[in-house]
Amino acid sequence: MMAAPKPKPPALKLIEGRAPGRDSGGRSVKPSPGFVRLPPDAPDWLPEEARAEWERVVPELARLQLTKPVDRAALTAYVLTWDRLVRAQKEMLADGGSVLGRNSQGRVRHPAVAVIEAASKELRSWCAEFGFTPSAENRLSTPEADDGEEDNPFA
């Protein structure tokens, strides 16, 4: 049994929409609960790679009005996951770059591979939450001008 898709925030529905105030199916979009649409402040303790990722994605999310101060925890989890993936990859590269290593029992998988795989999976989940995946990007568009067929959901 497939899980129902997660509801999208109103701003994301409007970006994907066909006309002002309408979603991609032409339905009227309820306004958001009125959160202040400002980017959250990054925690001052973020590692360098996590901070760089924060500075890369948060301005774009803010430009699209998809962030609010209470998103700080979710964005922090996202950038820390990115940091973990990068660190594990660098560790593996420092050890010769092979996903296989040797120990007393022969060839084994490098321990960093498990960290990379887990971080990749978690990162995909966070990316979906913020609309960072390629498929989500392909669905984003600028709302078209209203063509006067406001009540027609098939317009």
Question: Is 107:101 a contact under the CB 8 Å cutoff?
Answer: yes
Longest dimension (CA), the chain: 74
Residue 69: DSSP 8-state: G
In the 8-state DSSP scheme, what is residue 101? Answer: E
**Average per-residue pLDDT for the chain:** 79
**C-alpha to C-alpha distance for 115 and 101, rounded to whole angstroms:** 15
Domain borders along the chain are: 38-135
| pLDDT of 119 above 70 | yes
The total of other beta-carbon atoms located within 10 Å of residue 135's CB is 8
pLDDT at 126: 87
Which whole number is the average pLDDT over 45-68?
93
